[in-house]
Amino acid sequence: MITDRRQPAVWAGIAILLPAAWVAVLGLLTLALEPGRQLVLIGDPRSNMDIAIKAGGSLVDVGAHTVTVVSHKPGFVAALYRAGAPLVLLRPSPAGCLSPTLLKRFSKD
């Protein structure tokens, strides 16, 4: 029986590179965000709180490994990275993928 011993290594490489590429794409997309969006800093909360304040942002929430921040200044994401933020991502919407129009339709207001 002929087997290809490289196949498990290929799948292992894909399993590692695909999530890493996805996080990189999400990180790069945050650079193009308009001001006022909530962002999540991933890493040590203590140092990320200092980084957010140094970059001119306001703290929204602090979790075990995340800090949620917001700023209305243009270039805030770049300022976070310059201040030493390890990873900045767009904060997920509490409604997930639902559009505001759809949410309004189902709200009790």
Tell me if 2 is assigned to some domain: no
Order of strands, edge to edge, in the sheet holding 58-62?
58-62, 66-70, 39-42, 87-90
Q: What is the pLDDT of residue 62?
A: 93
Tell me if 80 is assigned to some domain: yes
**DSSP secondary structure letter of residue 30:** G
Count CB atoms within 10 A of the CB of residue 90.
15
Nearest partner of 89 among 39, 25, 55, judged by Cα = 39
**Domain range for 15:** 7-106
Q: What is the pLDDT of residue 97?
A: 52
Q: What is the pLDDT of residue 75?
A: 87
Counting the structural domains of the chain, the total is 1
Q: Which amino acid is at 100?
A: P
Query: Roughly what angle, to the nearest 10 degrees, separates helices 45-54 and 76-83?
Result: 130
Round to whole Å and give the CA distance between 11 and 15.
6
Tell me if 1 is assigned to some domain: no
Question: What is the mean pLDDT for each group of 10 consecutive residues in the chain (109 residues)?
Answer: 68 85 75 78 94 94 92 90 90 59 51
CATH for 17: 3.30.70
Tell me if 90 is assigned to some domain: yes
Q: What is the pLDDT of residue 109?
A: 46
